[in-house]
C-alpha cells in the first residue's frame, strides 16, 4: 500500500510503499476513502506527542472494510466505517467495565497501529462506527475528531429546550458546532469579530449572528446572555 509517512519531525512527509496490513483477532482492515486533516496533525508533525518514528498519521479516517480478523462479529467486509481516535481499552479494568475505555491506562489508538493517511488502515473493530447511508466519505471524515469534539461539549452541557447556545470561534470546529446545535433545535448564536461572516453563519444554522469588538463577554451579556457557550477558539 501507499502511505504518507512521517520519518522526521518538522520535515516533509514521505510517500512510501509499505506492506499491506493483516488483521489480528479483533481487528479490521479498511480501504481508506477519505482522511481528514486536523489541527492536531500539526502537533503530531512538530513532535508534540513524542511518537516513535516512522509513523503514519491521520485520525479522521473513513472507508470500506476489506478484511476482518478472527472474533469480529458485528462488522463485515463491505461496511462503510469511520474510526475513532480511541479504539480499544483493556476491557477488564474498572474504567473499561464502566464503559469509559478511552481513559483506560492501556487504551489503544491510531498512534499504536497507524493512522488513515494511507491506502489501507488497520483498526480495532471496537473503535469503528458504521456510517449512515447517504453520508459521503468526505463529509463523514471530520466528524471523527472535530465533530466528536464539539458534540461532546454540547452533550456534556445537558442543553434543555429553550436554552440559548453561543458558539465562540468560527473555524472548522465552530462551523460544526453551529450546525449540530441548530440541528437539535436549540437557539444558536454565532459570535464573531468579522462582519463579513454573518451571511455564511446564517446558512449554517445560526439563529442570530453577534458581531463583537474588543469585549465579546460584555457584548454577549448585553445581548441577553447565554445558557451554554461552546468555545472553539484557542485565544483567551
DSSP H helical ranges for 83-206: 94-97, 110-113, 137-140, 146-156, 172-183, 198-203
pLDDT at 171 over 90: no
Look up residue 126 and give its three cell numbers: 471496537
Name the band, by pLDDT with cuts 50, 70 and 90, for residue 116: very high
What domains can be seen in the chain, in order of their start residue? 2-136 (3.90.180.10), 148-231 (3.40.50.720)
* Contact predicate 34/63, CB 8 Å: yes
The pTM assigned to this predicted structure is 0.86
pLDDT, mean of residues 105-112 = 93
* Statement: residue 236 has pLDDT above 80: no
pLDDT band for position 102 (50/70/90)? confident
Instruction: From 168, 125, 142, select the one nearest 58 (Cα to Cα).
Output: 142
State the DSSP H helix or E strand holding residue 27, giving kind and residue range, or none if neither.
strand 27-35
Amino acid at each position: 500500500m501507499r502511505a504518507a509517512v512521517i520519518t522526521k519531525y518538522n520535515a516533509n512527509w514521505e510517500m512510501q510503499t509499505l506492506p499491506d496490513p493483516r488483521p489480528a483477532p479483533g481487528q479490521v482492515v479498511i480501504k481508506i476513502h477519505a482522511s481528514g486533516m486536523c489541527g492536531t496533525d500539526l502537533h503530531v508533525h512538530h513532535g508534540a506527542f513524542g511518537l516513535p518514528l516512522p509513523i503514519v498519521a491521520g485520525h479522521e479516517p473513513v472507508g470500506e472494510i476489506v478484511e476482518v480478523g478472527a472474533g469480529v462479529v458485528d462488522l463485515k467486509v463491505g461496511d462503510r466505517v469511520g474510526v475513532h481516535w480511541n479504539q480499544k481499552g483493556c476491557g477488564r479494568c474498572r474504567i473499561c467495565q464502566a464503559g469509559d475505555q478511552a481513559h483506560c491506562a492501556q487504551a489503544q489508538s491510531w498512534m499504536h497501529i497507524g493512522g488513515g493517511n494511507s491506502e489501507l488502515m488497520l483498526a480495532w473493530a471496537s473503535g469503528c462506527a458504521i456510517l449512515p447511508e447517504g453520508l459521503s466519505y468526505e463529509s463523514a471524515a471530520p466528524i471523527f475528531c472535530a465533530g466528536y469534539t464539539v458534540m461532546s461539549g454540547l452533550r456534556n452541557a445537558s442543553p434543555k429546550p429553550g436554552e440559548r447556545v453561543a458558539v465562540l470561534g468560527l473555524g472548522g470546529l465552530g462551523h460544526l458546532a453551529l450546525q449540530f446545535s441548530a440541528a437539535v433545535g436549540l437557539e444558536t448564536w454565532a459570535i464573531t469579530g468579522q462582519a463579513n461572516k454573518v451571511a455564511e453563519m446564517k446558512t449554517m444554522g445560526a439563529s442570530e449572528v453577534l458581531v463583537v469588538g474588543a469585549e465579546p463577554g460584555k457584548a454577549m451579556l448585553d445581548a441577553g446572555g447565554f445558557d451554554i457557550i461552546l468555545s472553539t477558539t484557542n485565544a483567551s
